[in-house]
Amino acid sequence: MFSLCYCVGIILILFFIEMFAKIIAKRTENENRTIATLKFDNGFNQELNVQPGQCLMIWIPGINEKPFSVSKISDDHCEVTIAKVGNFTENLINKGINDNVGIRGPFGRGFKITKEKEILIVAGGVGLAPLAQLPEMNKDKNFTCAVGAKTKKDLFFIERLKTNKNTSVFISTDDGSDGFKGFVTGLAEDIIKDRISSTNHKFDLIIACGRKEMLKEVYKISKKYNICLQISADAFMKCGIGICGSCAAGKFLVCKDGPVFMNEDIDYVMNFM
């Protein structure tokens, strides 16, 4: 029975592989050298039509397959930014130029920005990866970014954010080595308080990505100040198409109904985080 299930699983993976993508560039993003970005070959995004916030399943044959958010999208390429946290991510980061990996997707729902004008981004650690492109793709909006990391050496994408004229950047580090000392949620609430005090206006929307503990705190802050919220939820994913149920959060499947949740859906999802 196990062999049969295993074979069926492999067939499903092969069937839903969209393509093999070639790595055409890679770069280390932080001083601690634990975060890297892989750039995939020209035409990649044209074929898959990836949207910010959606995830891709990346497959290294013989090792495993894992979900990753896209960190940059353009007409002729797509980038994924990865933190080295285990065997799979270490193998992926160690891939060389012109190496190929299997790609499935994109899966799930992405971020949705429509009439909102003033947006607060709250990013914890590598959670900044899918969020950094939002100011670049929404030039008519104003973004305030609260970016958190353990130490200054763990920060990445800061200069990228600062190049956007529509973006203000604030930094927090757990050890105080750069910016606000403490968690990024504390910084985010201070930013909200200062904005209300100085302009008498709230943000129209908060968009957050990071650890579950961080998302829970951002959720509480959004409720406290009555600000709409979108979160990118992390979950253990296998099939990516809503069949296996490994990413279930109650009635929702993160690979299908997420990874981005908003409005009343967040109220429900928080019970399973």
**Would you state the pLDDT for residue 4?**
54
127-172 pLDDT tens trace: 999 999 999 999 999 999 999 999 999 999 999 999 999 999 999 9
Q: What is the mean pLDDT of residues 13-24?
A: 69
Whether residue 19 has pLDDT greater than 90: no
188-206 pLDDT tens trace: 999 999 999 999 999 999 9
Domain 118-272 has CATH 3.90.1150.10: no
pLDDT averaged over the chain? 90
User: Domain 2-106 belongs to what architecture?
Assistant: Beta Barrel (2.40)
**Would you state the pLDDT for residue 14?**
46
DSSP characters over the chain: -HHHHHHHHHHHHHHH--EEEEEEEEEE-STTS-EEEEEEPTTHHHHH---TT-EEEEEETTTEEEEEEEEEE-SS-EEEEEE--SHHHHHHHTPPTT-EEEEEEEESB----SS--EEEEEEEGGGGTTTTHHHHH-TTSEEEEEEEESSGGG--SHHHHHT-TTEEEEEEETTSSSSEES-HHHHHHHHHHHHHHHHS---SEEEEES-HHHHHHHHHHHHHTT-EEEEE-----SSSSSSS-TTEETTEEHHHH-BEEETHHHHHHGGG-
Q: Of the segments 37-41, 102-106, 160-164, which one has the largest average pLDDT value?
A: 160-164
Extents of the domains making up the chain: 2-106, 118-272
Whether residue 16 has pLDDT greater than 70: no
**Would you state the pLDDT for residue 32?**
87
